[in-house]
């Protein structure tokens, strides 16, 4: 059984070493998802995702501004690209019904192959 993120111990913590600007960006992303969740089921899926803040933080880190030299060496989170990316990811998951764990999917594929090709 896979370990949930809450069960892991991170010495520095995903949320424990953020700057004030990064914490504000994370809160802003959560607020935008809450507002969008009333009309968009993908935003609701992002909020209800089992990984919670860790998923949002990973996406924020993936969309960090690359202009570190221009901002005095500080890398900042960009909320708008992260918001678009999380909605795209959840839309993709809903479109292709990616809700099961890979081990479960592999089991179904193996059973299907055995039923089609019994030898």
| pLDDT, tens digit, 9 for 90 and up, residues 52-87 | 777 888 888 888 876 655 656 667 888 999 999 988
CB 22 within 8 A of CB 76: yes
CB 53 within 8 A of CB 26: yes
The pLDDT value recorded for residue 81 is 92
∠ at Cα 44 (43, 48), nearest 5°? 120
* CA pair distance 46, 66, nearest whole angstrom: 25
SS3 25: helix
DSSP conformational letter for 70: T
pLDDT tops 60 at residue 10: no
Phi, psi of 22, deg, nearest 5: -70, -40
Please state the domain extents for the chain.
5-116
DSSP state letters, 10-43: -SS-TTTT--HHHHHHHHHHHHHHHHHTTT-HHH
DSSP conformational letter for 46: H
| pLDDT, tens digit, 9 for 90 and up, residues 78-112 | 899 999 998 888 888 777 776 655 566 666 666 66
CB 85 within 8 A of CB 31: no
């Amino acid at each position: 059984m896979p370990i949930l993120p809450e069960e892991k111990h991170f010495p520095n913590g995903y949320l424990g070493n953020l700057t004030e600007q990064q914490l504000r960006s994370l809160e802003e992303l959560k607020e935008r998802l809450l507002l969008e969740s009333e009309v968009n089921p993908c935003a609701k899926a992002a909020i209800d995702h089992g990984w919670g803040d860790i998923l949002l933080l990973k996406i924020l880190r993936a969309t960090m501004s690359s202009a570190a030299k221009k901002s005095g060496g500080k890398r900042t989170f960009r909320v708008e690209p992260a918001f678009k990316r999380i909605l795209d990811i959840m839309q993709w998951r809903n479109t292709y019904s990616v809700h099961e764990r890979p081990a479960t999917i592999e089991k179904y594929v193996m059973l299907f192959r055995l039923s089609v090709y019994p030898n």
